[in-house]
Amino acid sequence: MLIDWFTVGAQALNFLILVWLMKRFLYQPVLQAIATREKLVAKELADADAKRSEAQKDRDEFHKKNEAFDQERAGLLAKATDEAQAERKRLLDEAHKAADALGAQRQAALIIDARNLNQAVSRRTQEEVFAIARKALADLATTSLEERMGEVFTRRLREMDGKSKAVLGDALKKNSTPALVLSSFELPGPQRAAIQNAVNETFSADIHLQFATSPDLVSGIELTTNGQKVGWSIAGYLTALESVVGKLMKEKEKPESEAVPAVTPEKAIKSS
């Protein structure tokens, strides 16, 4: 007999016990663990989803803020740049103006300095030259020179051009007071007579002359009447020379003053 009924019963009981044991020790704990883990995973996934959505939200917000901040920053930067440029332009203009003013002031000062110096130098030179000339001519002025001067004077009277002659003649004739003949030395009689003759001949009238001396003439003779003057004197030459030199000086100052900003005062002095 292949079937032993006692064994069948025992095995059936064994199997039932095994079912209970396995339920108790295997299926329940394992299924419970799986269920718990699934819940955990689901929870974690939900958490992750929530976190992700929150992160997405945060990110969006951050992006928005970032964009707004960027725009604001760009606006502020542009504004600041504009302001800075305007300020720079203003400052530059001011600086230019100040520099120009300072340059002009400096130039003017330099010009004034140069002019003053020039004037001083020319005046001094003039004075020195004239002093030397006066001294030399005064030293040389002798009676014979006076005589020569008288000759020169008379010749000049005679050689006067028609117009000047007429004007002077009118003045001499109309003047009631005697015409004044100035000389640096007292004129001797013959010379006085020669001058009187020459005047009379030249103007064809009897002109009264009054002779006087004037050291200012340096050396020479002058006939003065009613605002008209004729004569020859070294002082006259010197005055003419002085006026020519002064004119030249003024002409020379002009181009120098134009080039002054590039020239140091020392150079200006040197060149002048």
Contacting positions for another protein (CB under 8 A): 2-12, 14-19, 21-23, 25-27, 29-34, 36-37, 40-41
Q: In terms of CB distance, is 30 or 193 closer to another protein?
A: 30
Between 16 and 101, whose beta carbon lies closer to another protein? 16
- Residue closer to another protein by CB (options 17, 99) is 17
Nearest CB to another protein, comparing residues 17 and 131: 17
Name which of 20 and 62 has its Cβ closer to another protein.
Answer: 20
Provide, rounded to whole angstroms, the least separation between the CB of residue 12 and another protein: 4
Q: 209-213 and 228-233: which strand pairing?
A: unpaired
